[in-house]
C-alpha cells in the first residue's frame, strides 16, 4: 500500500470517503447497498480502492462480519470533520450570496432605457433583490469612455454598441438594435411616396460619434447638412422637419406614435447594431459583479 496521501484530494477521493462513511454507519457492505444504490461488489471494490489510496487497512470483512480497524476508526472521524468542513464552506458561500455588499459601477451609452427587452433593468432589479445593501452607480457616457473606465478599473461593467474589439475586454451579446431612417412632421417626405427616393437629394444628420465601417459607408453618398454627438441631438434636428437621420426604432417610437416622426421607406433604409456588455478580462473576483452578470447574460 502507499504511505499516506500525495497530491490533492479529487472528486473520486471524496466519493470513496462518502462510501466509506455510509458503510460504517450502515454496519457493513450488505446494509449499505440500499443507501448507496450500488452493488455489494461495487462497494467492496470502492473500499479496496480507498485503502490503496490512503495506504491504510480500514476494516475487516469476511465470515466473522464487518469491523473497523483502529486506523479505520480514526479515518472515519476525520471523514466526518472533512465533510462537515465542506458543508460549512458551502453554507458560508451561500451566506455571501444572501448578504451581498459593496458597490457596482456601471457605464452605459445613451438611450438604451427604451429597449423593450429590458435586460439591464431586470438585472438591476435582480441584484437589488439579492443584495439590498449594494450601492449601484450608473454613469451615462460615450462608448469610448465606458471602455476606458472598464480598463482602468473605475467601472465594473459597461453596455455599449460593438464598434470595435479591444484585447483587454470580454464581450457578451446583449441586444440587436434596429435603426431606421426617419424624418419629422413637415418634411417633404413625411407621408409621401418613397418609390424613387434617393437620400442624396436631402439634408441628413451625420452622427459625430464612433460607428462601424459598414455604417460609415451608409452615409458616403448622403448630404451631411448637420451633425450630432448623440441620438437625442439627432432627434432634435429631425423634429424640425428639415432633416433625415437614422434613429433606433425603440427610441423613435414615442414620436412615431404621436405623429411627429415617421420612418422613411423602412424596407430600404435600415440597419442593425449589436450592443454588448463588457468587462475587464483580467479582473478580480467580485461577487456583486458576478451576481449582476449572471442575471444580465443568463
pLDDT in tens, 16-38: 999 999 999 888 888 888 888 89
Residue 69: is its pLDDT beyond 80? Answer: yes
pLDDT-derived band at 198 (thresholds 50, 70, 90) equals: confident
Residue 2: is its pLDDT beyond 60? Answer: no
131's torsion region: left (phi>0), alpha (psi -120 to 50) or beta? beta
Per-residue pLDDT, 182: 97
Instruction: For residues 123 and 7, give the distance between their C-alpha atoms in angstroms, rounded to a whole number.
Output: 41
The b-or-e profile of 13-41 (16+ CB within 10 A means b, else e) is: beebbebbbebbebebbeebbeebeeeee
**Higher-confidence residue: 283 or 132?**
132
Per-residue pLDDT, 128: 93
Instruction: For residues 113 and 14, give the distance between their C-alpha atoms in angstroms, rounded to a whole number.
Output: 49
Per-residue pLDDT, 242: 97
Question: Average pLDDT of 49-61?
Answer: 88
Instruction: For residues 62 and 50, give the distance between their C-alpha atoms in angstroms, rounded to a whole number.
Output: 18
Give residue-wise pLDDT tens across range 224-239: 999 999 999 999 999 9
Instruction: For residues 147 and 183, give the distance between their C-alpha atoms in angstroms, rounded to a whole number.
Output: 32
**Higher-confidence residue: 9 or 263?**
263
- Within 8 A by CB and 6+ apart from 154, the residues are 105
Question: Average pLDDT of 106-125?
Answer: 88
**Higher-confidence residue: 193 or 152?**
152
Per-residue pLDDT, 5: 63
Average pLDDT, the chain: 88
- Single pTM value for the model: 0.65
Q: Where in the chain does DSSP place strands (E)?
A: 59-60, 67-68, 103-108, 135-140, 157-161, 169-184, 203-207, 223-228, 244-248, 261-263, 270-280
Residue 260: is its pLDDT beyond 80? Answer: yes
What H or E segment, with its residue span, contains residue 49? helix 40-54
**Higher-confidence residue: 115 or 67?**
67
All structural domains of the chain: 11-96 (1.10.10.10), 103-174+275-297 (3.40.190.10), 176-273 (3.40.190.290)
Per-residue pLDDT, 98: 65
Cell numbers found for residue 43 = 462497494
| DSSP-derived secondary structure for 153-175 | TS-SEEEEE-----TTEEEEEEE
Residue 197: is its pLDDT beyond 90? Answer: no
Residue 1: is its pLDDT beyond 50? Answer: no
Residue 255: is its pLDDT beyond 90? Answer: yes
Give residue-wise pLDDT tens across range 73-99: 999 989 888 888 887 777 667 666 667
Amino acid at each position: 500500500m502507499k504511505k499516506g496521501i500525495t497530491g490533492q484530494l479529487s472528486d473520486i477521493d471524496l466519493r470513496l470517503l462518502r462510501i466509506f462513511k455510509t458503510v460504517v454507519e450502515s454496519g457493513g457492505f450488505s446494509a449499505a447497498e440500499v443507501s448507496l444504490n450500488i452493488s455489494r461488489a461495487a462497494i467492496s471494490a470502492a473500499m479496496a480502492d480507498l485503502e490503496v489510496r490512503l495506504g491504510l487497512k480500514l476494516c475487516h470483512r469476511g465470515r466473522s462480519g464487518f469491523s473497523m480497524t483502529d486506523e479505520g476508526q480514526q479515518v472515519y472521524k476525520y471523514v466526518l470533520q472533512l465533510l462537515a468542513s465542506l458543508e460549512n464552506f458551502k453554507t458560508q458561500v451561500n451566506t455571501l450570496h444572501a448578504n451581498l455588499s459593496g458597490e457596482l459601477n456601471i457605464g452605459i451609452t445613451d438611450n438604451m432605457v427604451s429597449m423593450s427587452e429590458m435586460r439591464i433593468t431586470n438585472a438591476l432589479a435582480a441584484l437589488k433583490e439579492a443584495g439590498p445593501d449594494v450601492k449601484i452607480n450608473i454613469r451615462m457616457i460615450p462608448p469610448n469612455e465606458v471602455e476606458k473606465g472598464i480598463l482602468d478599473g473605475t467601472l465594473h461593467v459597461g453596455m455599449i454598441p460593438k464598434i470595435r474589439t479591444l484585447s483587454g475586454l470580454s464581450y457578451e451579446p446583449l441586444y440587436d438594435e434596429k435603426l431606421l431612417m426617419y424624418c419629422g412632421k413637415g418634411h417633404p417626405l413625411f407621408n409621401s411616396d418613397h418609390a424613387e427616393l434617393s437620400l442624396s437629394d436631402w439634408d441628413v444628420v451625420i452622427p459625430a460619434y464612433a460607428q462601424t465601417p459598414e455604417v460609415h459607408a451608409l452615409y458616403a453618398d448622403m448630404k451631411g447638412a448637420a451633425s450630432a454627438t448623440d441620438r437625442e441631438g439627432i432627434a432634435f434636428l429631425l423634429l424640425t422637419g428639415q432633416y433625415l437621420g437614422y434613429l433606433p426604432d425603440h427610441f423613435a417610437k414615442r414620436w412615431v406614435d404621436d405623429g411627429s416622426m415617421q420612418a422613411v421607406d423602412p424596407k430600404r433604409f435600415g440597419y442593425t447594431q449589436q450592443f454588448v456588455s463588457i468587462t475587464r478580462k483580467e479582473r478580480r473576483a467580485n461577487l456583486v459583479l458576478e451576481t449582476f452578470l449572471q442575471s444580465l447574460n443568463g
